[in-house]
Amino acid sequence: MKDNYLIIMAGGIGSRFWPMSKSSFPKQFHDVLGNGQTLLQLTAERFNNLCPQENIYIVTNQKYKAIIEEQLPFINSSQILLEPSMRNTAPCIAYASYKIRAKNPDARLIIAPSDHLIIKKEAFEKTINSALTQTQEGNYLITIGIKPHRPDTGYGYIQFEEGFEGVDESIKKIKTFTEKPPIEKAISFIDSGDYYWNSGMFIWNINSITESFEKYLPQIHHSFNDISATYFTNKEPETINQIYNKCENISIDVGVMEKADNSLVILADLGWSDLGTWSSLYEQIEKDADNNAVIGDKIISYHSSNNIIMAPKDKLIVTHGLNDFIVVENENMLLICKKEDEQNIKTIVKDIGEKYGDKHV
């Protein structure tokens, strides 16, 4: 286990979770499930049996450093990698990968977003261990595919094919990637049985990912490879600030996974959700007799059903005759929105920022 390293990507804003998630305090730092732990804390805890705490690295925006230090007190400053700007997942993963390589050239890497929910812990650990074992058999790029239970248009899909003889029968060769298909295509994917959701989690050894960066994203490779001598020194922050904005703004999926011929998917059923929207959170929260998902200690509903209602402690909220709505209060902001219209929240947040300034978003 000493060669296992975890990279947690924690720099996102989560604007679709407004008003709870703001750029000054995004959703990964909130206790969105009401269980006493933030999503970031749950993510780190999930790997207790898979990775030593000293091998956990958090990639985030510079302004979230203090929050992470407070929520993960076992993390030291060298384990928090500060991005000067948002450049998508490829530069984020490259930064952490090349830094870890400077410390341990035999490292095996697990990459995980900071805001996902996984209920089936034993299945998750088994899946990760199988993938890690596969990375010892060769230079593979492995992602986790989640068994879909509905034709969701908000997820990417991975089509797999049979014939690959891996260490586990659930490991398959990737055939195609499809990003957020229309509903008709999503339904056909579910019916076919050979498409799984793309979880955004990855497992590989250090050689496979750095060689892939060199082959498919050479500019990013040279940026982080050429500064290897500065990692874990006081020159690192200044050097990263100089190169980061010059990096291509591209995802690891588009930049590497879709191009590589050594991409694999390990099929899993983990009780997974990316918690990307209020509706996805609604699915995970215990409901009352009227199917309302409630987070708060003073919420009363009359003749109301299928709502998600969230309020701060001691804030009294009463609903009457409300059905299929999102009701969320945070600080001095209140959102009341039909669940079916939640795809508009991102646009609403943009409009609020333009009209009232950054303090509200």
Domain boundaries, the chain: 4-273, 278-360
What's the pLDDT score for residue 32? Answer: 87
What's the pLDDT score for residue 126? Answer: 97
What's the pLDDT score for residue 206? Answer: 97
Q: Looking at the predicted structure, is the pLDDT value of residue 15 above 90?
A: no
Q: Looking at the predicted structure, is the pLDDT value of residue 143 above 90?
A: yes
Model confidence pLDDT, tens digit, residues 38-80: 999 999 999 999 999 999 999 999 999 999 999 999 999 999 9
Model confidence pLDDT, tens digit, residues 113-124: 999 999 999 999
Average pLDDT of span 118-141 = 96
Q: Looking at the predicted structure, is the pLDDT value of residue 144 above 90?
A: yes
3-state SS, one letter per residue, for the chain: CCCEEEEEECCCCCHHHCCCCECCECHHHCCCCCCCCCHHHHHHHCCCCCCCHHHEEEEEEHHHHHHHHHHCCCCCHHHEEEECCCCCHHHHHHHHHHHHHHHCCCCEEEEEECCCEECCHHHHHHHHHHHHHHHHHCCCEEEEEECCCCCCCCCCEEEEECCCCCCCCCEEEEEEEECCCCHHHHHHHHHHCCEEEEEEEEEEEHHHHHHHHHHHCHHHHHHHHCCHHHCCCCCHHHHHHHHHCCCCCCCHHHHHHCCCCCEEEEEECCCEECCCCHHHHHHHCCECCCCCEEECCCEEEECCECCEEECCCCCCEEEECCECEEEEEECCEEEEEEHHHHHHHHHHHHHHHHHHCHHHC
Between 358 and 350, whose confidence is greater?
Answer: 350
Average pLDDT of span 11-40 = 91
What's the pLDDT score for residue 256? Answer: 97
Q: Looking at the predicted structure, is the pLDDT value of residue 1 above 90?
A: no
Please check whether residue 67 is in contact with residue 73, taking contact to mean a CB–CB distance below 8 angstroms. no
Q: How far is CA 278 from CA 18, 72, 182, 281, in A?
A: 9, 26, 20, 5
Model confidence pLDDT, tens digit, residues 83-105: 999 899 999 999 999 999 999 99
Positive or negative CA dihedral for 127, 133, 134, 140? positive
What's the pLDDT score for residue 304? Answer: 97
Half-sphere exposure of 310 (CA within 13 A, CB side): 26
Q: What is the pTM of this model?
A: 0.93
Q: Sort 123 into a burial class: Cβ within 10 Å, 0-12 / 13-18 / 19+.
A: middle
pLDDT band at 285 (very low <50, low <70, confident <90, very high): confident
Buried (b) or exposed (e) across 239-266, using 16+ Cβ within 10 A? bbeebbeebeebbbbbbbbeebeebbbb
Half-sphere exposure of 316 (CA within 13 A, CB side): 0
Model confidence pLDDT, tens digit, residues 158-205: 999 998 999 999 999 999 999 989 999 999 999 999 999 999 999 999
What's the pLDDT score for residue 359? Answer: 82
Percent of the chain residues topping a pLDDT of 90: 83
Please, what is the average pLDDT of the chain? 94
Alpha-carbon gap, residue 345 to 206, rounded angstroms: 38
Task: Look up residue 289 and give its two tokens.
Answer: 């007799």
Q: Looking at the predicted structure, is the pLDDT value of residue 332 above 90?
A: no
Model confidence pLDDT, tens digit, residues 221-253: 999 999 999 999 999 999 999 999 999 999 999
What's the pLDDT score for residue 68? Answer: 98
β-strand partners of 297 = none
Alpha-carbon gap, residue 184 to 20, rounded angstroms: 33
Average pLDDT of span 272-284 = 88
Q: Looking at the predicted structure, is the pLDDT value of residue 343 above 90?
A: no
CATH topology of domain 4-273: Spore Coat Polysaccharide Biosynthesis Protein SpsA; Chain A (3.90.550)
pLDDT band at 326 (very low <50, low <70, confident <90, very high): very high
Average pLDDT of span 311-327 = 93
Buried (b) or exposed (e) across 296-305, using 16+ Cβ within 10 A? beebebeebb
Q: Looking at the predicted structure, is the pLDDT value of residue 152 above 90?
A: no
